A and B are shown apart, each in its own frame.
Chain A
Amino acid sequence: MAKDIEVSTAESQFILEALKQNYRLDGRSFEQFRDVKITFGEELGDVLVELGRTKVHCKISSSITEPYEDRPFEGLFFISTESTPMAGPQFESGNNTGEDEVLISRIIEKAVRRSGALDIEGLCIVAGSKCWAVRASVHFLDCDGGFVDASCIAVMTALLHYRKPDITVHGEKIIVHPVDEREPVALGILHIPVCVTSSFFNPVDAEQNIKGEENSEIVLVDATLKEELLREGVLTVTLNKNREVVQVSKAGGLPMDAMTLMECCHRAYDITERITDQILAAVKEDIAKRDKYSAILSSENAR
């Protein structure tokens, strides 16, 4: 990933030697995804996701604007990823044209926006003149590897958690009801993509990797920053619970056997299933906590 921080020769040899003996520095097994911690902020659509020591914050905001001329029935949806030196010395502020920044934001864009995770047709208010613009701002707060995975979870959790103000339409006139007047409405989420990143290490020399038969490459799921700095190849798979591959990106790096890559995809599916459940449970719990008047307003009775 970063160019500015380097792992010392002694440490990199130690990590690689440990990997050859089936040990990871943090004691995880090779296929183990770090525990995900999801915390909600004060407002709706304000989420902090922690993946080990990686911290990503996502906030959803919305406003009413004019739709694009060529797509009058669709609302707007933007994802902006912001990396500042806060996340680590390897990030420059204001410069997001670095190789890794571009790859990270492109993968999140493909995973969430282009896959149609958010129902943008549902954001249309008056065809051709008014629609909702939903913006997800992702901020990287602390970096210990797995930015793509953490941001994808953060964006999806925030979208599921967000409620936009209710509106009524009278012809061309729109009334936006304040949140304390009318219950705000949830966004239409069509599926929940989850990214899982696998990193590849080559324990033998380059010729063995390309010409050899044995496929002895080491595959790690969810690498930490140090592992990311040392890895030779990376594969990010995005899946959803419907067994659909949303996006796969292996932009070069160590050549890997096709069957090994398929195994990575299947392994990613198990992780995806677990994380999807966790996201849904976390959102449900938090929304229930906020919904303090439902008991009073409900007409349900003991019978």
Chain B
Amino acid sequence: MSQFEVYSPEGLRMDGRRWNELRRFETSINTHSHAADGSSYLEQGNNKIITLVKGPTEPALRSQLDQTKATLSISVNVTKFSKFERSKSTGNTKNERRILEMQTALVRTFEKNLMLNLYPRTIIDIEIHVLQQDGGILGSLINGITLACIDAGIAMYDYISGVSIGLYDTTPLLDVNSLEEAAMSCVTLGVVGKSEKLSLLQVEDKIPLDRLENVLAIGIAGAHRIRDLMDTALRAHAEKRVLNASKR
């Protein structure tokens, strides 16, 4: 990794961004209108994620039926070709602990943000396919789910936007890619709307306690920007759909 400089003295990162810049953020909404009730395709840098929301529907199993609220189930499928090197693991990646942990974290994040009490005795099934990953994957999954749920018309309290922040020496770097993620310790945030409330917070490596606050502040600002980007994309999409509907 010596030919790369994580953060140059001029203040540029490996991919030419500055410390507080997000990656390219492009989305299409309602990509799978027949297969699912809500869907989104998200490209955040080189992360490429398809999210499908099916439901609220009648649950297939009795055990998934809750009299008071909808059951939320999220399954993450990380494809074997999603990384630079093809994953060598044989068998199903779904049972890997890392994936299970991610699914649990996502379910618990969205359980509090979707108004599940409005859909009792139903199941909302969210299916995620990671086509390509390049760092900060959990944050991108959160964004993908938020977009798809809005497309599905499921009642939510607010947007949840996810982002990863690295800490390089003393400089926080917003929205890390996989090279940066491997080189330093990272924090993943899930921020509710335009507030300072964190739904999800994960730190996986050592970070000095006194720097954490700074990192969180940058992360929250970045997440707010992602929220705005998602909002613009959704509004543009809605406008297009309204236009199409009125043409008919």
Contact = CB atoms under 8 A, between A and B. Distances in A.
A226 interface: no
A252 B202 CA distance: 10
Interface string A240-271: 00011111111111111111011001100100
Contacts of B195: 210-211, 255
B109 interface: yes
Contact of A252 (B107, B212, B216, B217): B107
B108 A245 contact: no
A247 B198 contact: no
A235 B201 CA distance: 8
Contacts of A102: 97, 100-101, 104
A206 interface: yes
A199 interface: no
A179 interface: no
B180 to A, nearest CB: 18
Interface string A200-223: 000000110111000000000000
Contacts of B109: 251-253
A255 B192 contact: yes
Contact of B213 (A247, A249, A262): A262
Contact of B207 (A245, A251, A262): A245
B110 interface: yes
Given A115-B206, A261-B201, A252 B213 contact: no
Interface string B188-203: 0010110111111111
Interface residues of A, number: 40
Interface residues of B, number: 42
A248 B201 contact: yes
A239 interface: yes
Nearest to B206: A244
A250 B202 contact: yes
Contacts of A256: 197-198
Contacts of B158: 210-211
A97 B99 CA distance: 11
Contact of B196 (A114, A247, A250, A258): A258
B124 interface: no
Contacts of A276: none
A243 B112 contact: no
27 contacts: A97-B95, A99-B100, A102-B101, A106-B97, A209-B197, A211-B157, A235-B201, A243-B208, A246-B206, A248-B203, A249-B202, A251-B105, A251-B109, A252-B106, A252-B109, A252-B199, A253-B108, A253-B112, A255-B112, A255-B195, A255-B197, A258-B196, A258-B198, A258-B216, A258-B220, A262-B213, A265-B209
Given A252-B105, A252-B107, 13 more contacts: A106-B101, A206-B112, A210-B193, A251-B200, A252-B104, A252-B106, A252-B108, A252-B110, A252-B112, A252-B190, A255-B113, A255-B192, A262-B213
Interface of B: 95, 97-98, 100-101, 104-113, 157-158, 187, 190, 192-193, 195-210, 212-213, 216-217, 220
8 smallest CB-CB distances across A and B, nearest first, come from A252-B108, A252-B109, A251-B105, A248-B203, A255-B197, A250-B201, A255-B199, A210-B157
